[in-house]
Structure 1
Amino acid sequence: MSRPARLIAAVALVGVLGACAQLPRHDIVTGPTKAKPLPPPTPASNGSIFQAAYNKPLFEDRRPRQVGDILTVVLNEDLAATKSSGSNASRDGSVGFSPTAVPDVLGDWLGDQTTDLSGSNGFQGSGDANASNTFTGKITVTVMQVLANGNLKVAGEKRIGINQGTEYLLFSGVVNPRMISADSTITSTQVANARLEYYGDGYIAEAQHMGWLQRVLLNISPL
């Protein structure tokens, strides 16, 4: 094999190893995060005050209820879990044998023998595990779909460019419109099937990742 061919093969091998060593990022929030509002129906001129095509009740707050409406989700996630376990077991035993009188047929040999056995076994183990997760903030989402039971499927994203990197915040879930407050806000703890994703890119985020060669060596290391 010629030298240029060997060089190309080496570069290809390095690229393959680098691609295999990359840690894939699995998207938590999938699907679109924005939707256009539905076109309004053609109003029917059936009265000067009451219109049959008007779908907003007169004595009700203007809360999100249609595709394209927006509401604000107050992120207030504070999760903590603690687990502790322990066990203790022990066992002791002893056996003694010291004959004081033996038949003459056995002679003095058995009378001089003594037996003393003892043993013990013990086990003790314990384990602890702690986890804590806190996330606060706000994100405004869009109603993507109105389900058959009236619940709202919402999704939204927020992008913030900082220097040479971008921070991404994505959210999706299902909201009961009755839980939406008058100012069109709802806490994230009241959202069903909530999915929250926060990540960033750029050289600052890249500096926090292990190099591809280190990841390759970590994967093949037997230790």
Structure 2
Amino acid sequence: MTARPALRIAARLSLAAALAASLAACNAATRLSEVGSGPQLSQIKDPYTQPGYQPVSLPMPTPMPAERNPNSLWRSGSKAFFKDQRAKQVGDILTVLITINDQAQMANETKKSRDNSENMGLPSLLGLESQFKNALPSAVDPSKLIDASSKSSNDGKGNITRKEQIELKVAALVTQTLPNGNLVIQGRQEVRVNYELRDLNITGVIRPEDITAQNTISYEKIAEARIAYGGRGQLSDVQQPRYGQQIFDIISPF
């Protein structure tokens, strides 16, 4: 092996190693920093300052003028005589009730079969069929010049069985008030048990009218709801394939 091909192979190996190292650098550094102490809890931060935070923009109806009753002791829409305890402005807190008990089962079976056959010949072509023997073997019959056939079949079966059951409660913070009065909420909860960290995130848009007198709201009344429940730690890392296997599964065409 000459020096130039050897340098090319070494460069390719170095590039592959650098790519694998860059993919795992962030997570590996975090895991190394948590050796012996377990995963660290995230600090409480202002949602507006987070890199991925984006204000919600939705189609809004025309604002209606508010009707004022200066001589009335009762406020319209209030469930408490003296004060409404429900969340209504940025910074208020309410409790989100998450109760998911879904089951889904689906089975599909598809079969397809096709058999084609085509024959074509030129027994008579203005007398030119007699000249075919000059260009083609003498055994060729002009009436059977082309004979093609094809056959295909496909048999597919699929079966999906899914069962999910989640029952959680999480406090969420009102982060934005939309022009029509709807509220944007965001909640996050982290619980660490030994070396495993459980993380719950929920965001969405709610109507103030759907908030109960106990200052709670059910998850099915949250529009554009995004609920994420997972974890990270030693047990979660063991359940994941190693970095090399993940990279190979991504780049392998077979």
Common fold, TM-score beyond 0.5?
yes
**Range into which the TM-score falls when normalised by the shorter chain:** 0.5 to 0.7
Offset at residue 133 of structure 1 (A): 2.6
1:32 corresponds to: 47
> In the aligned structure 1, how far is the partner of 2:230 from the partner of 2:208?
29
Match of 1:84 among 82, 107, 132: 107
> In the aligned structure 1, how far is the partner of 2:237 from the partner of 2:157?
38
> In the aligned structure 1, how far is the partner of 2:10 from the partner of 2:156?
55
Q: Alignment partner of 2:106: what SS? A: strand
Match of 1:180 among 183, 195, 211: 211
Per-residue Cα deviation, 1:45-102 (whole angstroms, up to 9, x for no partner) = xxxxx9xxxx9984563211111111100111233333333457899xxxxxxxxxxx
Aligned length: 164
1:17 corresponds to: 20
Percent sequence identity is 29
> In the aligned structure 1, how far is the partner of 2:178 from the partner of 2:13?
55
Offset at residue 17 of structure 1 (A): 2.0
> In the aligned structure 1, how far is the partner of 2:113 from the partner of 2:17?
56
Give the partner amino acid of 2:185: V
| RMSD (CA atoms) | 4.1
Give the partner amino acid of 2:88: R
> In the aligned structure 2, how far is the partner of 1:212 from the partner of 1:205?
14
- Which one has a larger percent helix, Structure 1 or Structure 2? 2
Q: 1:73–1:141: 8 Å Cα contact kept in structure 2?
A: yes
1:99 corresponds to: none
* Change beyond 3 A, Cα 1:76–1:141: same
> In the aligned structure 2, how far is the partner of 1:139 from the partner of 1:220?
40
2:245 corresponds to: 214
Give the partner amino acid of 2:19: V
Offset at residue 135 of structure 1 (A): 1.9
Offset at residue 153 of structure 1 (A): 0.7
- Between the two structures, name the one with larger relative contact order (CA 8 Å, sep ≥ 6): 1
Per-residue Cα deviation, 1:159-210 (whole angstroms, up to 9, x for no partner) = 1122234222111111111111111111111111111112322222222211
- Which one has a larger percent strand, Structure 1 or Structure 2? 1
Q: Which runs of 5+ in 1 are unaligned?
A: 25-30, 35-49, 92-121
Q: Alignment partner of 2:228: what SS? A: strand
Q: Alignment partner of 1:178: what SS? A: helix
Per-residue Cα deviation, 1:81-126 (whole angstroms, up to 9, x for no partner) = 33333457899xxxxxxxxxxxxxxxxxxxxxxxxxxxxxx98765
User: Greater Rg, structure 1 or structure 2?
Assistant: 1
Q: Alignment partner of 1:62: what SS? A: coil
2:90 corresponds to: 67
1:130 aligns with 2:161: yes
Q: Alignment partner of 2:47: what SS? A: coil
Paired residues for 1:98-177 under 5 Å? 126-177=157-208
Q: 1:154–1:172: 8 Å Cα contact kept in structure 2?
A: yes
Q: Which runs of 5+ in 2 are unaligned?
A: 28-45, 50-72, 115-152
